[in-house]
Structure 1
Amino acid sequence: MIAAVWILLLRGGDVLLSRRRGTGYRDGWLSLVGGHLEDDESVRGGAVREAREEVGVVVPPEAVDVVSVVHRRADGSRVDFFTACRNWAGTPVNAEPAKCSELLWSPVRALPADVVPYVRTAVANYRAGVWFESLDWPEPQPPPPGG
């Protein structure tokens, strides 16, 4: 199973989005700052690392809240942890131009149409207070009668 962590860097009512480039997955689409978790790091630790690597901001681990989890079926099983942070040091810059063509702030309540679908779902869940989502899995069937 592949695990990833994403961070909603929040400023007032806006969230920082990055336009994917050169990744091989949904290039040209908008997503959040984030990526795969390393084997030796926690969810909060991964969010802190990704924020530093991708947009050059320093996020204190205690400022990171886990706000949503998406278990999805995409080339196998994936678990995406979504975190949120309102307090960081520095100004976000595109620190990975080979993987990101632009950064932009968007109202968290009105995301652009070209946000990666599972990311859009997770942001909507965050806004609604829904902590878990299962995407693209068949519904479990009840056992047969008498079984």
Structure 2
Amino acid sequence: MEPHLFGSVHLLFQRENEILLLQRQNTGFEDGNWSVVAGKIDPNEDMLTAVQREAKEEVGVVIDRQDIEVAGVLHRLSGELNWVDFFVRITEWKGTPYNAEPDKSSALAWFPIEEMPDNTIQYVRQAIEKKEQKMWYDSDGWT
């Protein structure tokens, strides 16, 4: 039986008022659109470990667990799939971010939060634009 609930992490790499975005390609999901570093939580992996793994895989940087701040949680219905997305704020890391998966991302760039590309994935844009300092919860795709 396939699981009914999937988990993912979305890394909000921030410096001053800028956010790090990747342009997706060859993934089968939102290709051509901009998103943050993100990925599924693997079996037998906790959320913090998934954050560290995705940072290393996608942009080649190392993040210490104590530098991961949970910003919010999104419960998302995508087609028939039920997702719980953890959005984490990252302001400290080791190394210089680069496009470590050019087969999955055609570009990597810093954007002012107020000037993100029009084709930024909608639920990712909403998460980035949340201004609350406390942790938030939201839902998307449910009627």
Taking structure 2 as the reference length, the TM-score comes to 0.91
Query: Does the alignment pair 1:62 with 2:66?
Result: yes
Pairwise CA distance, 1:128: 3.1
Query: Does the alignment pair 1:98 with 2:103?
Result: yes
Pairwise CA distance, 1:113: 1.0
Residue 141 of structure 1 corresponds to which residue in structure 2? none
2:43 to 23, 39, 43: 39
What fraction of aligned residue pairs are identical, expressed as a percent?
A: 38
Pairwise CA distance, 1:134: 0.9
Residue 16 of structure 1 corresponds to which residue in structure 2? 20
Q: Aligned partners of 1:39 and 1:124: how far apart in 2?
A: 30
Q: After TM superposition, which residue ranges in structure 1, 4 or more long, deviate above 4 angstroms?
A: none
Pairwise CA distance, 1:28: 0.5
**Is the 1:69–1:122 contact (alpha carbons within 8 Å) kept by the matching residues of 2?**
no
Q: Which blocks of at least 5 consecutive residues in structure 1 are unaligned?
A: 139-147
**Is the 1:21–1:101 contact (alpha carbons within 8 Å) kept by the matching residues of 2?**
yes
Pairwise CA distance, 1:120: 0.9
1:82-132 Cα shifts (integer Å, max 9, x gaps): 00111101011111011000101011233221110111111122x234601
1:121 to 123, 126, 131: 126
The structure having more radius of gyration, on CA atoms, is 1
1:26-82 Cα shifts (integer Å, max 9, x gaps): 101000001000121221211111000100001111100010111111122111110
The amino acid across from 1:47 in the alignment is V
Q: Aligned partners of 2:97 and 2:81: how far apart in 1?
A: 33
Taking structure 1 as the reference length, the TM-score comes to 0.88
Residue 77 of structure 2 corresponds to which residue in structure 1? 73
Q: Which blocks of at least 5 consecutive residues in structure 2 are unaligned?
A: none
